[in-house]
Amino acid sequence: MLKRIGYTAGGFVLIGVLAVAILWGLSVGTVQFSLSQILNIVIDQFSSPLAIDDPMNSPDQTIIWLLRMPRLLMAAIIGAGLAVSGVIMQAIVKNPLADPYILGISSGASLGATIAILFGVGVMFGENFVGVMAFIGAMAISFGVLFISNLGGRPNSVKLILGGLALSAVCSSFSSFVVYLADDKEG
């Protein structure tokens, strides 16, 4: 019971720290805002909601709601997603030092990006083809690691780590080979 109260209190403290960080993030920049200005703008927006991009809004409201707030919220969401991914990876591997390099995910992403940059593979995905190819490489290696860990019976964390390290080495060597084959000084 006491442990649960401690976790709950810790959660509230972290939510408070996140709120303070968001308020601080809203205040710093080329245009400085005081805490009272930020709170007035936020309260004003919630009390009489105009369209966020309404021309009647003040420049301060535009800066807060169209420039800073979306970036801060996206950073918080991405940070939360990375934290959840890290916790899941540590729970699966049963090792608090687990990271994407151990399972070969980073090497797969690197191989996908290298192939995209040097050979132009994936151009049909548009401007972000390098990122898409990196994602495809990471996903392919993830599935490969899962396949290897399931070979020969029940999967366990040792098979997962060894499969990840093996595929990481393979992807690193293929990346080096692709760089050698491309002979592209600018790439």
Q: Lowest-confidence range among 12-26, 49-63, 116-130, 146-160?
A: 49-63
Residue 94: C-alpha distances to residues 91, 106, 149, 178 (Å): 5, 19, 15, 34
Q: Would residue 20 count as lying in a domain?
A: yes
Residue pair 118/182 in contact by the 8 Å Cβ criterion:
yes
pLDDT of residue 148: 92
| Boundary of a domain, candidates 93, 115, 142 | 93
Is 157:93 a contact under the CB 8 Å cutoff?
yes
In the predicted structure, residue 92 carries a pLDDT above the cut 90:
no
Give me the helices (H) in 120-187, please.
129-150, 157-182
CB 76, CB 20: distance < 8 Å: no
Q: Is the pLDDT of residue 16 over 90?
A: yes
CA distance 150 to 155: 5
- On average, the pLDDT of the chain sits at 87
Domain count, the chain: 2
Full domain range(s) for residue 25: 2-93
pLDDT on residue 108: 95
Q: Stretch 10-21: mean pLDDT, rounded? A: 92
Same-domain status, 75 and 125:
no
pLDDT of amino acid 54: 64
Read off the amino acid at residue 24: W
- Residues 76 and 141 grouped into a single domain: no
